[in-house]
A and B are shown apart, each in its own frame.
Chain A
């Protein structure tokens, strides 16, 4: 099913005001309903290598798989949706690829990347994330952070040591507890949500969420939602106006209409005319 007419996608990535390189990487395949964002880390340009590998490997492999398999089909082995199996396997594969590169090339030692990936199908979205790159949803007037960071701060908030307000002034920012390519195995957090026409989804690196408050991000999507490209530019600009201390990447996705997975030809034709 070609989703390029169901999803409107806009993205921006920017080096910011302080860092010498952009270690973020983004990719999207509108027809397959796939978007990927990675925020690399590691010395010299290794961060760029790690995030670039993550987005390239994942989009290439998943595109290939989605060509032949419907993500909403049930995987006979696990009894779960095939999308889940695909994401788990491909993320494991990507993790291994980055880990191998980091082990074999001294200049890449210690490199890694965060990941947030969304796959849209059958009026649903499956979101996988590792680290502190985030997934937000704007539905009606409500703007919510859907993913929970894998970071020291989030753990401290969960444990009741810090409130969200206090976390903003903590000295322990930017310490992630999970990343892709650091260890031989990684456990991504994967969830599935339903989508509705009119929803706007945001994937972003911490360069945005650390510099611009959720309230201001929500307000921007509310005000500029009619023009996604402009909204994406505005978010990057706001992060830069507030100091732009890190690379900033955003991907915005708007659901234009329903996209139920058709079983037979009749429903496919019905789907085209909706």
Chain B
């Protein structure tokens, strides 16, 4: 279960587990987290928890709610986010990370039946209406911390973008480049930045160079003739490219090399 650590001036005051669907924060005594300070509004903010995700929403407080130094109306909480209300700080710790095996189990597709979840579907986000009112702060605040968490727990939590980022980072830092050796544009260079680069003339002969974690590969796509690498035609399967390989395709010679 995710939890909040309440502190003031670096002094830890309390640890609060997010056990409820809605955890309210405010000055008045009926709040789940009561902070008796004049800078805090009577009903200041609420945290809505849906299974493993928690969302913070400001309830129109006088002095505002801040996450990681930025004012927010509504925010999707990420591990280690710091919520500030007046002089008080609440650090959000999600527990999804420790115990990788648990996370792996969680990844298996499961059916969520109506009512199986702690009423969350029926408590539609109280903010559904408020979203239009204040979406501006959200993407901006989410950006940096999101990328951070995703990368540090790459094993369990990889999102799609993070995965491709990681793959790109793992690839050699030298830039794979194609240089035309013949034809009208001889001497021209093309840096292979995309995961896929097609070469050739559609309808005549086309090949594709794919970027993979292990390196670069060329594959024949269409045409009666297969591309020639270093003098011999490639097989049907993908062919690994090495530095300084010369590719012949649709009558044009191209050199593949890594730019330092």
Contacts and interface: CB of A to CB of B under 8 A. Distances in A.
A187 to B, nearest CB: 12
A230 interface: yes
A23 B149 CA distance: 30
A173 B112 CA distance: 11
A251 B125 CA distance: 36
B111 A169 contact: no
A162 interface: yes
B50 A176 contact: no
B52 A234 contact: no
A242 to B, nearest CB: 4
Given A160-B125, A171-B94, A242 B107 contact: no
B51 interface: yes
Given A168-B159, A168-B161, A173 B78 contact: no
Interface in A1-53: 18, 39, 41
Interface string B123-161: 011011001100000110010001001100000011111
Interface in A244-263: 245-246
B203 to A, nearest CB: 9
A152 interface: yes
B159 A169 contact: yes
B107 A245 contact: yes
* Interface size class, chain B: 35 or more
Interface string A226-247: 1100100010011001110110
Interface string A210-235: 11110010011001101100100010
Given A169-B78, A227-B221, A176 B110 contact: yes
B110 A175 contact: yes
A39 B48 CA distance: 31
Interface string A157-174: 001111101101111111
Interface stretch (A80-88, A93-101, A177-185, A188-196): A177-185
Contacts of B206: 226
Interface string B191-214: 000111110001000101010110
B113 interface: yes
A223 B208 contact: yes
A160 B128 contact: yes
Contacts of A219: 194-196
* Main DSSP-derived SS at the A contact region: loop
A206 B198 CA distance: 27
A18 B161 CA distance: 19
B66 interface: no
B37 interface: no
B180 interface: no
B124 to A, nearest CB: 6
A147 interface: no
A159 B129 CA distance: 9
Nearest to B97: A171
Nearest to A168: B159
B55 interface: yes
Given A41-B108, A219-B194, A238-B195, A161 B52 contact: no
A169 B150 contact: yes
Given A213-B161, A245-B107, A226 B202 contact: yes
Given A161-B127, A166-B142, A219-B194, A171 B212 contact: no
Contact of B164 (A177, A213, A220): A213
A30 B17 CA distance: 55
Interface string A130-163: 0110000000000000000000100110011111
29 contacts: A18-B104, A41-B109, A152-B50, A156-B125, A159-B125, A161-B48, A161-B128, A168-B162, A169-B146, A169-B149, A171-B96, A172-B50, A175-B109, A176-B110, A176-B112, A177-B112, A178-B111, A220-B196, A223-B208, A224-B208, A224-B221, A226-B202, A227-B222, A230-B221, A234-B210, A234-B219, A238-B195, A242-B167, A245-B107
Interface of B: 48, 50-53, 55, 76, 78, 94, 96, 104, 106-114, 117, 121, 124-125, 127-128, 131-132, 138-139, 142, 146, 149-150, 157-164, 167, 194-198, 202, 206, 208, 210, 212-213, 219, 221-222
Q: Which 4 A-B pairs have the closest CB atoms?
A: A171-B52, A168-B159, A160-B131, A242-B163
